[in-house]
Structure 1
């Protein structure tokens, strides 16, 4: 019995005797099946290869990024938030080895794991079992869980406070249960928003974007972006980190609002003529 992992998206599946025929995540229009076809691996195979390692980097006080080198799957970044003796792992990466476990335990371990959306579920159950931590996923994305576990807690509503100063906010968009983390204590109390790619920082780091599908370039409707912008306007943050370690360092709240306005104007045909 193996917990197979899709090589394209990096998401791990429940234990089976044979390789799955298809990936639930990649077959859906927001993701894609590799042009080389559907391929599978296991965490054990990744470990035995000796090819990968995780890089744990201090981004700012009480915030660490976790990335796998060379990149695997989608190649996203996870973050470890240290908040008043309560450590939150935001989003997940597939690769997990003993070196990573020791490094994180030296930083105080993990008290909770929270996910932005299904593309980053990766090997979340492995992480939860290793650190004996619950996983928080919005109930609207329950259908996308490929490896069920008693560690998973499906929360409901628009917000959920993990601990004082760290709140999960469902803003939807990319996925119905799309979630961001409002970390009020971060950035010297000026606030940090950890957004996965529910909000995505673009090449010009002064702007962000909002998409239904990033790899397939499917935009969100203007009314959805208006709703997202209104929700974000009520949150406390001056800095923003996305899933690919891009950062808007200052005035992130204002830049998000300006980006939403530009996006809506582009969709409505008032931003430019071409």
Structure 2
């Protein structure tokens, strides 16, 4: 029995004797089947060809990503706080070197994810760190591909984690898509960790919002405005996107507002 991993989206599935016939994540219209068809791998196979890059991004926040790039190429973020560390989003590969490095940084007390595309092998990560709870919005419950007792299905619009960290449900990309507000981030000015609930643009002066990024399906104006409204009560000056180097370094709250205005203007023309 193996926990197979989809090579296109990077999601690990529950144990089966043979690779699943379908990846439900990739067959959804927000994702896609790879050009070479449905392909699967396992953690043991990945360890032969891949390793993880672990790199401090700012004070008390560390990026963890896989090299060479795998699946959609996101990197996870580890926030270190005096009351414990939170892993935001996840990746497919976890190995002994990664576990040792993360333990030296204080381990993982909780895991939270923005949406079902950036979860990788999160159950393996939970098990490696004393069954750390996995906070997953209940509106995305049907997209759990490897069920486990570690899941904590939260409901509503906000959910506090620990030490100034708050999950904020924004919707848009998925009904339960969320962001993580870090009150102590950006030297106390506040930060958002957004995955691609808000996708940091390549020029890093704007963010964007989509129902499907790879298939280029936009969101409507009401959904975009809802995302902006949900983060409005929070103070934040920086945004950490879901991929290496995609960071809005300052004035992030104004960036979100003008990005939404630009997007709504473009789709309303």
Deviation at 1:223, TM superposition (A): 0.7
Q: Give 5+ residue unaligned stretches, structure 1.
A: 270-274
Which deviations, in whole Å up to 9, do the C-alpha atoms of 1:166-214 show, x marking residues without a partner? 0001001000000100000111110010000000011221011000000
Contact 1:83 1:165 in 2 (8 A): no
Deviation at 1:125, TM superposition (A): 0.3
Partner of 2:135: 136
Which deviations, in whole Å up to 9, do the C-alpha atoms of 1:60-114 show, x marking residues without a partner? 1100011100011111010000122310000000000100000000000000000
Query: CA–CA distance in 2 between the matches of 1:202 and 1:95?
Result: 26
Query: CA–CA distance in 1 between the matches of 2:229 and 2:137?
Result: 20
Contact 1:233 1:257 in 2 (8 A): no
TM-score (norm 1): 0.96
TM-score (norm 2): 0.98
Deviation at 1:3, TM superposition (A): 0.5
Matching of residues 5-16 of structure 1 within 5 Å: 5-16=5-16
User: Paired residues, what number?
Assistant: 267
Query: CA–CA distance in 2 between the matches of 1:42 and 1:18?
Result: 11
Query: CA–CA distance in 2 between the matches of 1:101 and 1:85?
Result: 19
Partner of 2:29: 29
Contact 2:83 2:162 in 1 (8 A): no
Secondary structure of 2:167's counterpart equals: strand
Partner of 2:256: 256
Partner of 1:120: 118
Partner of 2:171: 172
Deviation at 1:45, TM superposition (A): 1.2
Contact 1:83 1:185 in 2 (8 A): no
Secondary structure of 1:4's counterpart equals: strand
Partner of 2:145: 146
Partner of 1:201: 200
Secondary structure of 2:186's counterpart equals: coil
Contact 1:201 1:207 in 2 (8 A): yes
Deviates more, 1:147-156 or 1:227-236: 227-236
Q: CA RMSD in A?
A: 0.7
Contact 2:159 2:166 in 1 (8 A): yes
Which deviations, in whole Å up to 9, do the C-alpha atoms of 1:114-167 show, x marking residues without a partner? 010000121000000000211000000000000000011101110000013000
Q: Give 5+ residue unaligned stretches, structure 2.
A: none
Query: CA–CA distance in 1 between the matches of 2:265 and 2:82?
Result: 42
Deviation at 1:254, TM superposition (A): 0.5
